[in-house]
Amino acid sequence: MRVFVPATTTMLRALIDDGEFSPISRTAFAVTPTLREAYSSGDDDELADVALREAARASLRLLGGEGEVDETDGGADADADVDVDAAAAATAAGSAPRRVVIAADVDPVTLRPDLDDAVVRLPQPLSLRQVASVHVDLAEAEPAVRAAVEAIDAADLGDVDAEFVLGDAEDHELAWYAPQEIPFLLDLM
């Protein structure tokens, strides 16, 4: 099954360096039977695009999570204001504020319709051999991604203005890279 794994550039570096990485809770997105039922029309490619967009949105949450730990001071910043620019902190820690989605072929996966229509759980860490492609924001998307990282929680809680901020980031198409291009991509970032 083709799955779309949300990631960050830091996680992508770990995949290249170690040959595998374990996504948080081994969560990924795919064209599941529940996702097919949720859409009255759409072919496999259109539904795969829906799953990829869900993974890209989850990547925003991962970017925010990387910003919670500042590697320069060695731990969580307990006194930080809620409005700290999490994506900027992630950049300072070595991760560009770009959404990353890893497309891979994994079997078998566990369907998780209790979480969302497209959510699946991977059976084991993701191996570089399973990667079909990688989708990454271009540099021009970084300002919109930074803003979206800050707005994602508010959007989840129904803030219409925050949803527009997410839309600005989602208007940027993710660039496609073959697995053998990933080391060169990381060197250029």
Length of the chain: 189
**What residues form DSSP beta bridges with 102?**
5, 134
For helices 160-170 and 142-156, the axis angle rounded to 10 degrees is 140
Is the pLDDT confidence value at 4 over 60? yes
CB 128 within 8 A of CB 15: yes
**What is the per-residue pLDDT across 27-75, written as a single tens digit (0 to 9) for each?**
999 999 999 888 877 788 999 999 999 999 999 999 988 864 333 333 3
Question: Residue 37: how many CB atoms within 10 A of its CB?
Answer: 10
Q: Determine the pLDDT at residue 81.
A: 36
Distance CA(27)–CA(119), nearest Å, equals 7
> What's the DSSP call for residue 125?
P
Token pair 């021009």 is found at 140
Per-residue pLDDT averaged across 108-132, rounded?
94
Distance CA(127)–CA(48), nearest Å, equals 21
If pLDDT is split at 50, 70 and 90, which confidence band does 114 have? confident
pTM comes to: 0.83
Distance CA(110)–CA(127), nearest Å, equals 17
Is the pLDDT confidence value at 17 over 90? yes
Q: Determine the pLDDT at residue 142.
A: 95
Distance CA(32)–CA(113), nearest Å, equals 9
CB 108 within 8 A of CB 123: yes
> What's the DSSP call for residue 158?
T
